[in-house]
Structure 1
Amino acid sequence: MAAQRPIAVLGECVADAVPDTSRPRPGELALRVLPGGGPANTAVALARLGTDTRFLGRISADAFGALFRAHLLSSGVDLSHVVAAPEPSTLALATLDEHGQAQYSFHAEATADWQWTADELAAAPGADAACLHTGSLALVRRPGGEHIEELLGRARSGATVSVDPNVRPLLVDPRLYRARMARWCALADILRLSSDDLELLAPDTSPERACDDWHLAGARLVVITLGSRGAMASLDGVRAFVPTPQVAVVDTIGAGDSFTAGLLHRLSVTGRLGGRLDGLTIDEVADACGFATRVAALTCSVAGPNPPWAQQLESGPAVAAHGQ
């Protein structure tokens, strides 16, 4: 059996700061800082599942950047093509509601993640990658976003292109995402987004109608995660619905990124990445989404963006699925 080609993930690393209430002191706010950022989370989850994963990012030389590097390397991510950036790291302050749902405020002006140049991306390796995944803020923020779009266009010659918009309305007006969606769908083979993204990108539109619109724009596979209601996948308009496994939720940080990693990992091991998804069936999509929901559920069962390792899915206790 031929060796699987690597998956390249391009995007940001973000320092996720969460209030630490374990040892409160009067007049202080203690923070626990975890390495995060949607693309970095996806790269970590892919590597932990056993996928050969290459991260393409601009990582600062500050203390947060050192944290990012250690976290990615310890998970098995290849950082040999990371750009050493002089700018500071991006910081996100997360607050959790009573259901473990995270809300963020960002400190992201002139930080390292968005400063991609055409020359930096021209030097990014990609010819041997089976898939290039990107999205989130790096794809939409200037000045780097337009250069990343150009890279996606070049990568299509030999790689499957995957995009997760991961809309962040506190940092970027959703109207800008909407204006770029047609372009992203024309570049992407796989579009993965959440129900929150759907509401911001296509208000008052059903998941089925949105999928049809995005298929017409060019995306062959659209997957919308629906939280506790599972996930809906649409392959050229043919649908599959997958239930969400039942776990005790600690928080949902990184769950969507883990889902994306599980989806891409499963498609990789079944040999479906590396082109325009030719030959992919809806049964294979449903299988990949079922695996992805399990990866996401295990991420929700622990604190922070801490996706499972392959052996945890193989030998750990099975999670129970919600009934339809």
Structure 2
Amino acid sequence: MGYAVVLGEALVDLLDAEHDGEPVYRQAIGGGPLNVAVAVARLGGDVQFVGSLGDDALAGRIRTFLTGAGVGVAGAVTVPAPTALAVATFAGPEPEFRFYGEPRSYALLGPDDLDVALVEGADVVYCGSIVLLDPPVLAAARRAWAIAGGLRVFDPNVRPSLLTAPDALDRLRGVVAEFAAGAHLVKLSSADARVLYPHEPVEGVAAYLRELGATTVVVTLGADGALVAAADDVVRIPAPKVDAVDATGAGDSVMGALVAELLAAGEPADAVGWRERVAFALRVAGLVCESPGGATAMPTRAAVTARFA
């Protein structure tokens, strides 16, 4: 089994909470790609995180957390910036994130910072999330995409609060189309699909991304499971019944589980294989939802088997 490279952001989440009747923020290490990398490692995959980290104590905690989780940091660079913060509030079914910190520590990885050999040697290369809104990291991701010798997986992980410029959404759609065209797998949420392609049903979004060139598309549907479009097959896979307490990181765990499965067994030969992979990934996400926190809730294979035996 080879290894995966996950290129994207790592930051610190401040999660809306309550203590002694007072509103507080609970600190948690996060970032969608970081969550993906941790999920891959917990499920037994060899994975390297590639991104820019700040030069403060919070960045030190991120590095310590990643290495403790079994994620390699050889491709992570230190930049002169405070660690970016994502403040999460829970007013609806999904958390809303607002981002703080200038310059943003996660947005300073440029194409010349890439460890080319690390990317070229990977069996799976992941790109996506909010770093693609920043020109330096977008250029780095494009370079990684171009030199990747293995499978390419992509997740837009849209955060509407960052799309403030008048043309921001159109530019993001262009980036999504660009990366989807070369992807073996695109994973996005139904919330991502609504922002990117309003009024288009998820089946239509999956069909569009496959027309662009994506081999397989998975759209997560929250408690309703996921839609899988592979080969000529488009099906919905139900989610397992769980006692959900916190959905933070659930979508990232689906991506991480799919990457771990690609590392363990390669690309499925047919649509049935994808259905089985996605069903497993939904069990992983279900277990994540039963524990508070994002990255810290990522389970092992043994835990998934025990919970859903």
Name the CA distance, whole Å, in 2 between partners of 1:20 and 1:242. Answer: 32
Q: What amino acid is the match of 2:53? A: I
Query: Secondary structure of 2:219's partner?
Result: strand
Matched, 1:57 2:51: yes
Partner of 1:5: 2
Name the CA distance, whole Å, in 2 between partners of 1:160 and 1:127. Answer: 11
Q: Deviations over 1:203-224 (max 9, x none)?
A: 1111222222111111111100
Partner of 1:165: 156
Q: Deviations over 1:143-202 (max 9, x none)?
A: 3212311221111xx211101000111113332211222211122111100000010111
Structure ranking higher in helix proportion: 2
Q: Deviations over 1:251-277 (max 9, x none)?
A: 1110000001111212322232xxxxx
Q: How does 1:1-324 map to 2 (within 5 A)?
A: 4-24=1-21, 30-97=24-91, 101-121=94-114, 123=116, 125-155=118-148, 158-172=149-163, 173-272=168-267, 280-305=269-294, 306-314=297-305, 316-318=306-308
Provide the identity percentage: 31
Structure 1 residues 161 and 42, CA gap change in structure 2 (3 angstroms): same
Name the CA distance, whole Å, in 2 between partners of 1:160 and 1:91. Answer: 31
Partner of 1:275: none
Is the CA contact (8 Å cut-off) linking 1:19 and 1:94 kept in structure 2?
yes
Name the CA distance, whole Å, in 1 between partners of 2:229 and 2:16. Answer: 38
Q: What amino acid is the match of 2:285? A: A
Is the CA contact (8 Å cut-off) linking 2:110 and 2:137 kept in structure 1?
yes
Name the CA distance, whole Å, in 2 between partners of 1:151 and 1:115. Answer: 15
Is the CA contact (8 Å cut-off) linking 2:112 and 2:140 kept in structure 1?
no
Name the CA distance, whole Å, in 2 between partners of 1:129 and 1:123. Answer: 10
Structure 1 residues 53 and 79, CA gap change in structure 2 (3 angstroms): same
**Structure 1: 5+ residue runs without aligned partners?**
273-278, 320-324
Cα RMSD after superposing both structures: 1.7
Is the CA contact (8 Å cut-off) linking 1:58 and 1:85 kept in structure 2?
yes
Report the more deviating stretch, 189-198 or 75-84.
75-84
Is the CA contact (8 Å cut-off) linking 1:102 and 1:251 kept in structure 2?
no
Is the CA contact (8 Å cut-off) linking 1:16 and 1:35 kept in structure 2?
yes
Q: What amino acid is the match of 1:76? A: G
Report the more deviating stretch, 81-90 or 221-230.
81-90
Aligned length: 303
Name the CA distance, whole Å, in 1 between partners of 2:280 and 2:215. Answer: 20
Query: Secondary structure of 2:162's partner?
Result: coil
Query: Secondary structure of 2:161's partner?
Result: coil
**TM-fit CA distance, 1:24:** 4.7
Q: Deviations over 1:205-247 (max 9, x none)?
A: 1122222211111111110001111101111342132101111
Structure 1 segments (4+ residues) deviating >2 Å: 172-176
Name the CA distance, whole Å, in 1 between partners of 2:210 and 2:266. Answer: 22
Give TM-score scaled by structure 2 length: 0.93
**TM-fit CA distance, 1:127:** 2.3
**Structure 2: 5+ residue runs without aligned partners?**
none
Query: Secondary structure of 1:200's partner?
Result: helix
Q: Deviations over 1:25-44 (max 9, x none)?
A: 6xxx5321100000000000
Is the CA contact (8 Å cut-off) linking 1:44 and 1:76 kept in structure 2?
yes
Name the CA distance, whole Å, in 1 between partners of 2:152 and 2:249. Answer: 21
Name the CA distance, whole Å, in 2 between partners of 1:108 and 1:252. Answer: 25
**TM-fit CA distance, 1:115:** 1.2
Is the CA contact (8 Å cut-off) linking 1:24 and 1:30 kept in structure 2?
no
Is the CA contact (8 Å cut-off) linking 2:228 and 2:234 kept in structure 1?
yes
